[in-house]
Structure 1
Amino acid sequence: MKFLTLKMLLTPLMVILRKYFQQKGYQVDETLLKAQTREITGKKVRQIRESGMLPVVLYGHGIEPKSLSVDAKEFARAFAHSGSSTMVKIIIDDNTEPINILFHQIDRNPVSGDYVHADFLQVKLTEKIKTEIPIVLEGEENAPVVKEKEGSIITNKDHIEVEAFPQDLIHEIVVNVSELAEFDQVIHVKDLIVPAKIDVLDDPDDVIVSIQEPRSEEELAELEQEVVEDVEAVEVEKKGKEEDEDSTESADGASGEQKEEKEADK
């Protein structure tokens, strides 16, 4: 028999409380990341990645850009925890004074998905900044419009633009859609629960979530017919191109033979 430890019991509760206080605008916990000054630049940064480090550039208002490197695994954990809209602290070369930053531009390998480079934006606690906060939907599978009416919940916007002091930013905005029951229901920007210290810059009437009704059999049949017609059109176009290429090759061959014959006559 497997016994539940105190940690196993408390972890889900801590996650819920953390989300709750974040939505209220409280800085629940801070992420601390260690960085090192980087001398290697240009194409040679590949050596850094191979050693398990991630090349980083630190920049900000009124400071000189700095080339840094951080542990790739530590960065992945920090980014998963904080995203691009929550303030993070970094310590460079074991200095005692941490620097406040936001993860700004993150580059990944399109094939492997590994992080290959990151830009850190240094921020000041006394200056407001503009950034984007992602929107996360929850409760989709429990929404009556989905369970009972086979509708589809459509995300029209997956983030909003905001302005706030760095320490007041939150990781994400959670939108509960489990109560959606009718096809004409929508959720607007003005319906979002956002901490008072954060100014939303998007139009309040912009639609965040809408409902799409299930397609009728007639609509599905029409859609299928359109797909068939598109495929046939592509095949006809492809066949036409192949015939043109064959004609060109034949003409080129004939020209070549005529040229050879003329050379032989000489």
Structure 2
Amino acid sequence: MEKVTIEAKLREKVGKNSSKQARREKAVPCIIYGGESNIPVVCDAKSFKKLVYTPEFRLAEVNVNGSAHKCILKDIQFHPVSDEIVHADFLKLADGVNIKVQVPLRIKGTSPGVKVGGKLMQLLRKVNIKTTPEHLIDKLYIDISSLKLGASLRIKDIEVPEGVQIMNASGIPVVSVEVPRALKSAAAKEAKDAAAKAKAAK
């Protein structure tokens, strides 16, 4: 699993004034929680780029004054006008302790419905999971090798590794193969022609 290193410094002061000062210096006020006590830090805003602006799920290694903390990004706040990051929360990981995260859903295989002209529609791109750090994954897969024209696959059809639990409802549609308008028109014409021939044969 890919890991992004975030360089951080301890915040000597907390509160609105210190947070504003950090932002003026192009830094992001953050909190690392999940350990024995919360750790207030400031991080370089540029270091968030590979962690936030990506569809991938990545771990964060937050280095605070030479001490590394293995974390996940739990929450992030953006400025309503500039869209700059104004605050972030990191959750420190501990083996055996359950965490809840969102991971991307990837498609594998080739749908027979697509081969005959159907249109593949991915209806869900991220899945909520519960797991422990030692079983943490960065993506899930759903196999569409049996997906026929006009059919769909649901949450319950996703391949789930050991130690991982999907939190989404099992009946939610994930991917489908739609029948294009051209195929519908052709099928309707065939049915109409067949009906006309049957009527003429009587």
Per the normalisation by structure 2, the TM-score is 0.69
Q: Which runs of 4+ in 1 moved over 6 A?
A: none
Deviations 1:10-50 (A, max 9, x none): xxxxxxxxxxxxxxxxxx44333221112253154233223
Structure 2 contact 55–104 (Cα < 8 Å) conserved:
no
Tell me if structure 2 keeps the 8 A contact 1:55–1:68: yes
Relative to 1, partners in 2 of residues 1:193 and 1:35: Cα closer, same or farther, differing over 3 Å?
A: same
One-letter amino acid of the structure 1 residue matched with residue 167 of structure 2: L
- Cα offset, 1:59, TM superposition: 1.4
Q: Secondary structure at the match of 1:64?
A: coil
Native 8 Å contact 2:142 2:157 kept in 1: no
Q: Distance in 2 between matches of 1:125 and 1:81?
A: 26
Say yes or no: does 1:135 pair with 2:105. yes
2:121 corresponds in structure 1 to: 153
- 1:166 deviates by 1.5
* Counterpart-to-counterpart distance in 2, 1:32 and 1:152: 37
Q: Give, as a single letter, the amino acid of the residue that structure 1 aligns with 2:4.
A: T
Q: Distance in 2 between matches of 1:160 and 1:123?
A: 20
In the alignment, is residue 42 of structure 1 matched against residue 16 of structure 2? yes
Measure how far apart 1:127 and its partner are.
1.6
Return the letter of the residue paired with 1:90.
V
Q: Deviations over 1:159-204 (max 9, x none)?
A: 3332211242222335466985512x21222322332232223343
Match status 1:90 vs 2:62:
yes
Q: Which runs of 5+ in 1 are unaligned?
A: 1-27, 217-266
1:57-68 alignment runs, 5 A limit? 57-60=31-34, 63-68=36-41
CA distance in 1, matches of 2:2, 2:113: 36
The change in CA–CA distance for 1:172 and 1:50 in structure 2 (over 3 A counts) is farther
| 1:111-130 matched pairs, under 5 angstroms | 111-130=81-100
Look up the SS of the partner of 1:190 in the other structure.
Answer: helix
In the alignment, structure 2 segments of 5+ residues that lack a partner are: 183-202
2: CA distance between counterparts of 1:121 and 1:41?
Answer: 20
Percent of aligned pairs sharing the same letter: 22
Shift of the alpha carbon at 1:72? 0.9
Q: Paired residue for 2:46?
A: 73
| C-alpha RMSD over aligned residues | 3.4
Conserved 8 A contact 1:152-1:214: no
On the 8 A contact 2:2/2:58 being kept in 1, the answer is: no
Equivalent residue for 1:204?
170
Partner Cα distance (1:189, 1:202) in 2:
7
Q: Evaluate the alpha carbon distance shift between residue 145 and residue 49 of structure 1 in structure 2; reply closer, same or farther with a 3 A threshold.
A: same
CA distance in 1, matches of 2:81, 2:114: 37
| Structure with greater strand share of residues | 2
Counterpart of 1:194 in structure 2: which amino acid? V
Distance verdict in 2 for CA 1:109–1:175, change over 3 Å = farther
Write the distance in 2 (CA, Å) between the matches of 1:139 and 1:117.
40
CA distance 1:178–1:51, shift in 2 (3 Å): farther
- Give the match for residue 169 of structure 1: 136
Larger radius of gyration: 1
Q: Which residue of 1 aligns with 2:70?
A: 100
Match of 2:27 among 35, 44, 53: 53
Question: Is contact 1:86-1:166 (8 Å) kept?
Answer: no
